[in-house]
Structure 1
Amino acid sequence: MTTVSLGDMAQSWMLRRQNVTLKDQMSILTDELSKGTTSDVAAHLSGDYGYLSDIERNLRTVGGFETSASEAKGFTAAMQSALENVQSVSSRLSSDFLAADNSVAAARSAMAQNAEQNFAVVVSTLNTTFAGRSLFSGRATDGPALADAEMMLSSIRDRIAGEATQSGIVAAIDDWFATDFHSTGYQGSLDPLSGFRLGERETVNLDLRADNEALKSVLKNVAVAAIAGGISDPSLQAGLLQYAGLELLGAQDGVTEIRSDLGYVEERIEEMSTRLAVERTSLDYARNELLGIDGFETATKLENVQHQLETLYAVTVRLSNLSLVDFMT
């Protein structure tokens, strides 16, 4: 009988190749067992990718909407936080100004100085950005919504020059906010921010800008109090501060209303986020069902491969220990 033998080098190469093959199989089976899905999609689906393509396309679409919802959630939360700060500042100033008539001159001057500082705070708050986008400048998200606070107050002071009565000063400031505000103060766009798409037919619009009447009212009346700091007549100064306090008190309703509207938008975003999460879970389940494997069968295959690998190691060790003396005896 003819016997075909392998040389040492060929035998070593064959054992190494078997070792690599078994290790690759073990790696594939381990990966499948941990993920619960097949590694060979083509064989598993017999080449029919139609349903899988639909699922993955829908998953990408849902992922895009989830990203948009996340951005919308962050944007509205930042807006709500800014509005809360504006309302807190205006409410506190209102209480202070309403007591101006019973205050000494030094206290009134301190109130006016505080008003000037807080005018800058409100302006800075309305210039807040989120992820590099200005919150209250409409579609022009690449720049601040409002001009520099000191520049606006300087422009207002020029407008009231020569006015010596409370009604005249207030009318001049009203006129500035009715006309110059959009050319000198507000620097954003008059077009609303583009909506956030949260579904095929679901879009959330945030048409809230720094030129909103409620926010303009806060700015205007904090400015009135700030202007009072340059008034030397004690009675006129106290009158302007009290006027600003009453107007700021009345402006609270307007700020509360826009915060309430924003809260409704936040609720819609949350509802859509929940709906998208449910849709993603459903699609993931469908994908896993389509590509899923039999865990028991895969574990059995893995055990067999492990056994073959152990046998191969044993054979390799046995062959490596052979000697000429062993062969001849």
Structure 2
Amino acid sequence: MTLNSIGDQARAYALQVASNRIKTTLSTLTQEVASGQVADVGQRVGGNTRALNEIEGRIQLAGQLRQNGQDAGIRLQAVQDMFDAVRLSTTELGLALATDPFNDQALLGTRSTEVANAFDSVIQRLNGTNSNRYLLSGEASDVAPLSDATSILDSLQAIVAPLTTAADVAQAVSDWFDAPAGGGGFLDTAYHGTLGQPQRITVGEGVSVEMQTTGASGPVRDLLKGLATAAILDRGILAGNVAERRELLSTGGTLMVAADSAVLGEMGRVGLAQQTVERAQVTGTSTLNTLERARGDIRSADPFETAAALTEVQSQLESLYAVQARLANLKLVDFLR
């Protein structure tokens, strides 16, 4: 009769290997039960991870597009809030300048100071930021779009100081604001953002929005033009000529009223961009949920199978411990009996 046996050290090593293997399997199964996902995805898909990789890539893209949409939505809403604040300080003032009779020198001076203060306030609001980015600078979001009100009025004062009629002053101010780039006007000396193609942000698959509104946009310039036309009187322009000063204030108010309608149109355009972002966000969220479900179907572990395997491994581990305990209690005297 042939007897096969192994030494104590070899037996201890074999038991240790078996114990480590069972503990590793137990840890893996415990992790799968806790996470609900298989530990070895490659084994689940039979080594063909192409489909899973494609899903992972689309999930990453969808997440980035959703983040883009959130950022764009925040910026667009900030522009809307900016214009709302600007209109609060200019709409009624423009109507008052265009319609109220000014026949008193002191009242004219008070009104011109009021407009100058409003001009300064509007410039500060239009130089507003969101997330440390200037909203109306185009691509140059790290640069304030507009010079301060004092600098703009200084430039205009140098131009209109020799003029003696309200019509000439208003025309000179208008020409300065409307001058094209390179013409030495507003775009060259007072606007510091970018011109040309607007910034385009992709917010969905095949969907993008343009951040068109800048300090150089027509409605913004028209509003500033109306304010500056009236505010320049605070620099002593047309001094002593009540009738011409009154006419210039009225002209500035009329320009502000017309610009208010243009600003409302610009806000409507921004609102359309907001709707585009919102629709893209809804579609993107639905797509992302679908992709995550598909990924989950591939990676998910069957809870019943995992629980059964876990029970079996626990039994194996208990049996191994029982064998180790039995072997540990063996004595040579008991063997020789």
Q: TM-score, normalised by structure 2?
A: 0.82
Deviations 1:248-288 (A, max 9, x none): 22222111111011101110111011111111111111111
Instruction: Give the aligned partner of residue 70 of structure 1.
Output: 70
- Rounded to whole Å, the distance in 1 between the matches of 2:26 and 2:96 is 76
Tell me, yes or no, if structure 1 residue 242 matches structure 2 residue 244: no
What are the residue-to-residue correspondences of 1:1-329 with 2, within 5 Å?
4=6, 6=8, 11=12, 20-98=20-98, 101=101, 108-179=108-179, 180-231=185-236, 232-233=239-240, 234-309=242-317
- Equivalent residue pairs, number: 326
- Rounded to whole Å, the distance in 1 between the matches of 2:223 and 2:334 is 102
- Rounded to whole Å, the distance in 2 between the matches of 1:47 and 1:158 is 77
8 Å CA contact 2:157–2:235 kept in 1: the answer is no
Instruction: Give the aligned partner of residue 182 of structure 2.
Output: none
- Rounded to whole Å, the distance in 1 between the matches of 2:319 and 2:246 is 98
Cα offset for 1:55?
1.6
Q: Which amino acid in the other structure matches residue 50 of structure 1?
A: R
- Root mean square deviation, CA, Å: 3.3
- Rounded to whole Å, the distance in 2 between the matches of 1:305 and 1:285 is 30
Cα offset for 1:44?
0.9
Deviations 1:60-113 (A, max 9, x none): 332332232222222212222222222222214325535753686555434333
155-164 or 198-207: bigger deviation = 198-207
- Rounded to whole Å, the distance in 2 between the matches of 1:22 and 1:105 is 98
Cα offset for 1:127?
2.5
Q: Which amino acid in the other structure matches residue 152 of structure 1?
A: I
Q: Quickly say closer, same or farther: Cα 1:215–1:311, change in 2 above 3 A.
A: same
Q: Quickly say closer, same or farther: Cα 1:28–1:214, change in 2 above 3 A.
A: same
Q: Which amino acid in the other structure matches residue 6 of structure 1?
A: D
Identity of aligned residues (%): 26
Q: Quickly say closer, same or farther: Cα 1:303–1:113, change in 2 above 3 A.
A: farther
Q: Quickly say closer, same or farther: Cα 1:115–1:308, change in 2 above 3 A.
A: farther
- Rounded to whole Å, the distance in 2 between the matches of 1:309 and 1:80 is 66
Runs of 5+ unmatched residues, structure 1? none
Deviations 1:107-131 (A, max 9, x none): 5434333322332222222223334
Runs of 5+ unmatched residues, structure 2? 180-184
Q: Which amino acid in the other structure matches residue 90 of structure 1?
A: T
183-192 or 200-209: bigger deviation = 200-209
Q: Which amino acid in the other structure matches residue 139 of structure 2?
A: R
98-107 or 287-296: bigger deviation = 98-107
Q: Which amino acid in the other structure matches residue 78 of structure 1?
A: A
8 Å CA contact 2:120–2:149 kept in 1: the answer is yes
Q: Which amino acid in the other structure matches residue 229 of structure 1?
A: D
8 Å CA contact 2:102–2:108 kept in 1: the answer is no
Cα offset for 1:50?
2.3
8 Å CA contact 1:192–1:208 kept in 2: the answer is no
8 Å CA contact 2:90–2:256 kept in 1: the answer is yes
- Rounded to whole Å, the distance in 1 between the matches of 2:156 and 2:17 is 86
Q: Quickly say closer, same or farther: Cα 1:316–1:155, change in 2 above 3 A.
A: farther
SS of equivalent residue, structure 1 residue 101: coil
Deviations 1:279-301 (A, max 9, x none): 11111111111222211111222
Deviations 1:147-170 (A, max 9, x none): 232111100111110223222221
